[in-house]
Chains A and B, each alone.
Chain A
Amino acid sequence: MIELHDVTKQYGSLTAVDHISFSVGKGEYFALLGPNGAGKTTIVKMLLDFTRPTSGTLSVDGISSKEPAGRSAVGYLAENPRIPPNLTGWQYLQRCAELLGMRRSEATDQGGKIVELIGMKGREHTKVNTYSRGMIQRFGLGAALMGNPKLLILDEPTSGLDPIGIREIRQLLESLKRQGMTILLNSHYLSEVEKICDTAAIMNSGRLLLKDSISSIIKDGETLEDVFVRLVKG
């Protein structure tokens, strides 16, 4: 579903991503881990063509990330998502649907299902400026789910949520995975990753330190956090 081949990204003299190659299969729940500044968000940005690689190639569903068509399979939730404050959550979802080329009836139908899925039924018609950060996060996730994408790219999807919200989002993502959706998760919550992801890649200073299945990474009673700290510090 995702292919990165020898990707490098430089900002002046700073190398944000250094010759990275990996792939994520269809239906895989993949976590991209690393300390701040490791290059995770740069990889996400390159996958969405928000920024271009200095060298190397990236593709989504077999289409180069430079092509807009490559994003037709992608739903994206940014870290700290923002929504225009003068809109209601419902208007935001409908706007996203229209930008995806959905018909009005289809958008209304799917919007209704998504509002229930993200647990915001009854609040969808109030203005975004009355929402908490967690509620905006949920509507951001809802917008990412519009159009039934094959791949979800989630940048810290549970940040700003309370423990119950985190659990609900986790359950939602698990159910999406059961439906065959591929998920790329960019997260600092290692215990969450350990619980729900199939594979993980650990990065530091733009380099890929490790990419393997979670079960292979965690050995001898170690937690993912132990492995992470050992790799990043070592």
Chain B
Amino acid sequence: METPKANSIVLVVAKYTLADEVRQKSMIVMFVISALSVFLLRECYKGDYVVNGQALSADAIAWTLSKVIFHIIAAGAMFISALLTMRVFKRDRDEGMLSCILAKPIARWQYVAGKILGLWALSALFMFILHSIVFFITSLSMKTPIPAYLVASLICSFNLLFVVLAVFLLSLLLPDIAAFLCAAAVGLISLAVNGVHSLSQSQMGQAMMQQPAGPAPSGVSWWKALYYFWPNLFGSQLSASSLIGTDGGMPVYPLINVLLYCLILGVVLLRRFRDEDIV
């Protein structure tokens, strides 16, 4: 018997990971509900909206709504990918597939890489389909397609890779639900930090900081440190969404931050799984 090629084994493991997840009834239900919810949002594009006494144009409504929905879908996809990932190792262990696979001439990194690839592909596809529905609704409403919407979705998929890696690693160290909650906390903290960062960049925020009664600004404030060193999931989502519309240039730092974290988590996960006892 020949030793199978490394990359083909990774793809086989990824294929079966994807197939196993898609076969789950809960996965199908989640997908159908999400797709229906997004599809029903098309009614929002038809309303009349008035801001400060001025009626918004149909295009302005479409731009704004599509961006809001973009963020909801991207955040929801992270949540779902964390839910999917948290059970994967345990299920493989409980159903005997882990020992079945690793008793074959398959290296541990191939198994882990296949699992990551399968889950990343599945959650990115999940998100891309939902974004595609919004893309079509917005394109029909504006009578012009916005291809940047789909590019932004693909960029956001790096956040999903981060979530998959983080939950995989945490699920080796903690109970599944704790791994999920930790990943959710990372996302929420990122949201809060980006909120503070955006506020500080706004005119109102600048004015608040310059008030004499306020606390003296320290050289590097805590939120600035968090903004640069915490996994910047929401910042990366904002970067991607800046492609949609006319917000100007795309901030690159949050994307680099997430990609660096993916690299670190990937290395730590592989090292940790290499030393794991298989039971």
- What's the Cα separation between A142 and B9 when bound, in Å? 21
- A99 and B12 form a contact (CB under 8 A): yes
A72 sits at the interface (CB 8 A): yes
Given contacts A68-B107, A98-B12, contact A84 B4 (CB under 8 A): no
From B45-53, B81-89, B96-104, B194-202, give the one contacting chain A.
B96-104
- B1 and A148 form a contact (CB under 8 A): yes
Given contacts A68-B106, A71-B105, contact A96 B100 (CB under 8 A): yes
| Residue of B96, B99, B102, B105 ringed by the most chain A CB atoms within 10 A | B105
Q: Which of A67-99 contact B (CB under 8 A)?
A: 68-74, 76, 78, 81-86, 95-96, 98-99
Q: Which residues of B contact A210 (CB under 8 A)?
A: none
Q: Which residues of A contact B110 (CB under 8 A)?
A: 68
A101 sits at the interface (CB 8 A): yes
- What's the Cα separation between A78 and B103 when bound, in Å? 10
Closest residue of chain B to A128 (Cβ to Cβ) is B95
- B278 and A45 form a contact (CB under 8 A): yes
Min CB distance, B72 to chain A, in Å? Answer: 32
- A100 and B4 form a contact (CB under 8 A): yes
- What's the Cα separation between A76 and B16 when bound, in Å? 20
A147 sits at the interface (CB 8 A): yes
- B12 and A72 form a contact (CB under 8 A): no
- B96 and A83 form a contact (CB under 8 A): yes
- What's the Cα separation between A73 and B104 when bound, in Å? 9
Given contacts A50-B278, A82-B94, A84-B96, contact A72 B103 (CB under 8 A): no
- What's the Cα separation between A85 and B268 when bound, in Å? 32
Q: Which residues of B contact A73 (CB under 8 A)?
A: 1
Across the interface, A68 reaches (CB within 8 A) one of B12, B23, B105, B275, namely B105
- What's the Cα separation between A49 and B2 when bound, in Å? 19
| Residue of A52, A72, A86, A99 ringed by the most chain B CB atoms within 10 A | A99
- What's the Cα separation between A49 and B254 when bound, in Å? 40
Min CB distance, A12 to chain B, in Å? Answer: 12
- A78 and B8 form a contact (CB under 8 A): no
- B101 and A99 form a contact (CB under 8 A): yes
Q: Which residues of B contact A74 (CB under 8 A)?
A: 103
Min CB distance, B84 to chain A, in Å? Answer: 16
| Residue of A70, A73, A95 ringed by the most chain B CB atoms within 10 A | A95
Closest residue of chain A to B102 (Cβ to Cβ) is A50
- What's the Cα separation between A39 and B111 when bound, in Å? 27
Across the interface, A85 reaches (CB within 8 A) one of B5, B16, B95, B104, namely B95
Q: Which residues of A contact B95 (CB under 8 A)?
A: 82-85
Q: Which residues of B contact A76 (CB under 8 A)?
A: 99, 103
- A101 and B8 form a contact (CB under 8 A): yes
B277 sits at the interface (CB 8 A): yes
Min CB distance, A184 to chain B, in Å? Answer: 13
Q: Which residues of B contact A32 (CB under 8 A)?
A: none
B20 sits at the interface (CB 8 A): yes
Q: Which residues of A contact B5 (CB under 8 A)?
A: 101
Q: Which residues of A contact B99 (CB under 8 A)?
A: 48, 50, 76, 78
Closest residue of chain B to A48 (Cβ to Cβ) is B103
B218 sits at the interface (CB 8 A): no
- B278 and A69 form a contact (CB under 8 A): no
Q: Which of B197-240 contact A (CB under 8 A)?
A: none
Q: Mark B1-36, 1 if CB is under 8 A from A, else 0.
A: 111110011001100100010010000000000000
- B94 and A101 form a contact (CB under 8 A): no
Across the interface, A143 reaches (CB within 8 A) one of B13, B16, B100, namely B100
With A68-B106, A76-B103 known, 16 other A-B pairs at CB within 8 A are A45-B278, A52-B275, A68-B3, A68-B110, A72-B2, A76-B99, A83-B95, A83-B96, A84-B96, A86-B23, A95-B16, A99-B13, A99-B104, A100-B1, A101-B5, A149-B1
Closest 7 CB pairs of A and B: A101-B4, A82-B96, A50-B278, A72-B105, A76-B103, A84-B95, A147-B1
